[in-house]
Structure 1
Amino acid sequence: MNYGRYLTAVSRARKSLSLSKLVEIQQRASPGSLIALSTGMPNTSCFPLSSAHLYTRKGKKLDLSPLWMNQGLQYTMSQGHPEMVEWGKQLQRRKHNPPTDYLNHEGKMDLCVTAGSQEAICKTMEMLVTQGDNILIETPTYPGLLSIAKPMGCNMLEVETDEHGPKISSLRSILSNWNPTDSADVWSDIPRVFYTVSSGSNPTGVTTSLERKQQVYQVAREYDFLILEDDPYYYIQFTKTPVPSYLSMDVDGRVIRFDSFSKILSAGMRIGFATGPQPLIEKLVYHMQVCTQHANTLSQMICLLILQDWGQEGFDAHMESVTEFYRKRRDIIVESCDTWLKDYAEWTVPDSGMFLWMKLLGIPDTGDLVMQKALDAGVLFAPGNAFHANDATPSPYLRASYSQAPEEDIDKGIQRLAALLKKELKQTASG
């Protein structure tokens, strides 16, 4: 893997800040072993907080000691607090067992803690993509990615999806414009990245099947592009066994994986992490150094406090609980759609995540219906065109989220949509 060919000129020019190594040395030193007269870190005795007591929903008390509080209020390494980084690596090994993790070369796996996966995605895109570049994305896709990519001036090549994930025929049709046997110098505009939400896709709720992932990975090897695996819903899969990730099959070191604690621990603490080949994660860390410096240290310490209290078994038990919570809500909205919408819409039952993607029959575009008429009827959805690169294109789809509304309101909302559609189609027929 020649990682230099994927990087923008700015990313290639980034180097580690000369003083950042001093912070790492100071943080890794055992207490009392080093007199630090080097860094400009503030003295924590000037900060107003000294300790904190946290209580879980089950009533257990967790103590954020003065030592941990001081660490939480202080600068930390741009890659993340050392214990948080190591915890993340162990999680990836346990859940995905990346093939590149144990290879004795510079392409081995590494990890960077970020302010949620959104920061990781944004910084990675800035690291790999510049104006005029061609990039591969799923359609429909996560609008947060569209908000990043559109102002960059890149050309988004939309890969069609179905109930199994990205369609290989669509991917190969796009890439047929290039010859994979030619060198990168010949085809300087060949796509170098493919962005995909691999579990519980936002908006479709689809989890890409293992067979489809293997096919996508093979195409990536043929055309030598990177796979950006956005997977915030990996731990909310409703199947008995989670579908293996792209990271778990990455024998080349061409996958950058984005995980998030937002859906399973806390959205407001803003903790996520990027996992991938060491040379690329290193460049991501250099970007962190000159931007946010690091993810919120106090949030990292609170996460560590919870995770260490749980242990591996406790973490897995919590994930099972979260999955069951959303599975129940998924079942409620699907049952409601079966009852009220069978004559007005089509949908695929989501196998993970928080979303139901439905096509409204006889409605060429849901924009006006969702943003005006449904809102007037007291129910709010997301219009389908928000999930496409060209949001001016009419879309008969809408996204329903079953994560927030009280359970008893989910059925009411679907009933209101059914009544609205009945009225709309009646007016269309009479007009």
Structure 2
Amino acid sequence: MKTLKLCREFYETLIGSILRAGVKLTVTPDGTFIDNRSSFICVGDLTGSEIICSKSTYLRLFCEARLYLTNKTLEEINNDDDSYYIATVGLLSTTPEDRHNLNLHEQLLLRHLKQIPETKWRLHEEESRFLQRELHVVKLLLTSNLKRVNKSSSLWLLFRKLYTLSRELNPAMKLDYCDLFVRSAANHFSNYYCWNTFRWMYDVENAENRSLMSESVWNFCFRNPKDSSAWWALGHTLSSDHRVEKHSIGHFNQLRVRFGFEPHVIDASLGPHSVKYIYHAQKVLKFIELAEVREWPPFLCLAKLLQYMSHRDQRQFLKSWRSDIELFESKHFKLDDKSVNMAMYEIGDDLLLRRTFESLLPRKKLIEYRGRVDARERH
């Protein structure tokens, strides 16, 4: 006999945490917790909460949901039966790229939000709460410690759809989107789909929310100089790429039309003259200098900002770096990739010289990179 006891307990545990601050979902090895009174253990304090389940429970969740949904289609499911929707949530948490389950989950979600015969949207309190719970559940999955869930392209696309629906059906709904992106990225290094969705959402948001998003990615990047996806997202917020913005707005409107909404007119950025490129570039440069950054992502972000300056302004902006590099090379050896082995031999135990070498090498790499780009543009 098919049962859905575990999936229902899982779903109710997730939505039961909707009012808690900083809640996260964690799957741990068996035996981490001795308490077996519940399949899902909730722990926490004033700073945050955690929903924990064991790997064996996680496996049983998959098996139960898979068995319950075997060979099921939308036409066979009663409108008042929420068990199949809950089963699809169970599979989303274990196999987020299952196309059949994703389609069924979306169909059941839309059915709940629409009137019969499913042509008009219902905007009552019950549907609003349902959509808010759905967003909360998806947020917990995207910020979980499960790599294939956290980095799932399909799950991030589902989030975009939910965001589009909430913008139209319940614009007053509160969800800390900045917290979603930062926590998801913190769990898994260089989370491409996370930061790609961040850029997409940034392009379709209003000026106030853009400012909050830009601040959140600034703070994240300064704590994570090696995260290339995050730094690329930061570069996106600090520049005006009309091609990318147009693509984001177009995709947003495709989703709106798919759900029966009118295309939304969004003002794109005003162009390069509207952005303080020099100010932003100086902020990145100062971070590189003070932190003695040696990782390439911050330099690539800086290169993105430099492209909006004139050749003259670029040379003036990087003048001090050029001077430092010339001084080092005149006293020691040429800075390039081939000099790394030479540096290991000549520097020896001189830690200060080694630190200077490691800091100057990516700076010269950036200058040469911009030089090659400028040369191509002139031709």
Please state which structure has a larger fraction of its residues in strand.
Answer: 1
TM-score calculated relative to the size of structure 2: 0.23
- Considering Cα pairs closer than 8 Å and 6+ residues apart, tell me whether 1 or 2 has the greater RCO: 1
Please state which structure has a larger fraction of its residues in helix.
Answer: 2
Who wins on radius of gyration, i.e. which is larger?
2
TM-score calculated relative to the size of structure 1: 0.21
